[in-house]
């Protein structure tokens, strides 16, 4: 008798919990219907990345070494003082058309050096970069370190289009509609309004501000738009330098499978020719 009574109590308690959860669910749904959540400034005014077409796009895409070298120049002259490229070695630059001598010079002349220990004195100092070294990391002790750019086009939705949009998306002031609807969304002191950034305000000042910040050796006009496209293309390569080789290998495998399938089907027809089913 007692076990039956205990089971009944458990059943009633369980039904009570289910009933309470059901009431909570009904209350939540009713509240959302009566007072739907208000959109935030970020949701209303954040822009999706602009369209960006690169020669490396698609299964048949190939890297344009001239553009990659222009993009590296933009990184070197504009971005490298703040952003690391710590997953890339200097010698990797040979993949985009630089000679061994050029790579050695780039490594030796790089402003940031490699830490080195003096075995005799037991102290730490610096040495010139070697082609085998990775690009030195940029540190800002106590103030926060800007993100590393090695995998940036893989880490952000939109990839190169995001980078391009961010670099060309700075606006001198916020839209009047934004301030009218969201007075508390005013850009803080020391930040810059950029609708392509997640929270609309970014601490990084516009890095590309005028034409001819760099001088391209191939004669390409170094507009802000062109520099943004070139450095975006370069960061596609840093994130996946083997992409072109991988695409070529994949196409070769697909072609092999198609031929093998055709040969197998032909063999099937030959073997079973004349055999009645």
Q: Which residues are annotated as a binding site for heme c?
A: 79, 82-83, 204
Task: Give the angle subtended at the CA of 147 by the CAs of 134 and 84, to the nearest 5°.
Answer: 25
Angle at CA 96, nearest 5°, toward 66 and 146?
A: 95
Question: Using CA atoms, how far apart are residues 234 and 232, in angstroms rounded to an integer?
Answer: 5
Burial of 232 (0-12, 13-18, 19+ CB in 10 A): buried
In whole angstroms, what is the distance from residue 236 CA to residue 175 CA? 32
Q: Which helix (H) or strand (E) holds 23?
A: helix 2-34
Distances (CA, A) of 107 to 88, 101, 131, 166, 234: 12, 10, 6, 29, 18
CA 82 distance to own-chain centroid: 17
Indicate the annotated binding residues: 79, 82-83, 204
């Amino acid at each position: 008798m007692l076990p039956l009574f205990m089971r009944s109590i458990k059943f009633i308690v369980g039904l009570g919990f289910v009933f309470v959860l059901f009431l909570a669910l009904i209350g939540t749904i009713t509240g959302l219907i009566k007072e739907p959540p208000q959109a935030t400034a970020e949701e209303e005014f954040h822009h999706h990345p602009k369209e960006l077409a690169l020669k490396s796009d698609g299964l048949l895409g190939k890297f344009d070494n001239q553009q990659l070298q222009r993009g590296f120049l933009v990184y070197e002259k504009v971005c490298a003082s703040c952003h690391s490229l710590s997953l890339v070695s200097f010698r990797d630059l040979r993949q985009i058309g630089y000679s061994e001598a050029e790579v050695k010079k780039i490594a030796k002349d790089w402003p940031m050096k490699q830490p080195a220990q003096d075995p005799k004195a037991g102290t730490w100092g610096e040495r010139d970069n070697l082609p085998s070294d990775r690009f030195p990391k940029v540190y800002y002790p106590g103030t926060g370190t800007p993100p590393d750019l090695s995998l940036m086009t893989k880490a952000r939705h939109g990839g190169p289009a995001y980078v391009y949009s961010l670099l060309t998306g700075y606006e001198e002031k916020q839209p009047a509609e934004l301030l009218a609807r969201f007075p508390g969304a005013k850009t803080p002191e020391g930040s810059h309004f950029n609708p392509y950034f997640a929270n609309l305000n970014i601490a990084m000042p516009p890095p590309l501000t005028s034409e001819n910040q760099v001088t391209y050796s191939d004669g390409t006009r170094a507009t802000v738009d062109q520099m943004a496209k070139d450095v975006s293309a370069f960061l596609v390569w840093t994130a996946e330098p083997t992409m072109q080789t991988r695409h070529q290998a994949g196409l070769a495998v697909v072609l092999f499978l198609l031929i093998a399938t055709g040969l197998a089907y032909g063999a099937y027809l030959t073997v079973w020719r004349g055999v009645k089913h």
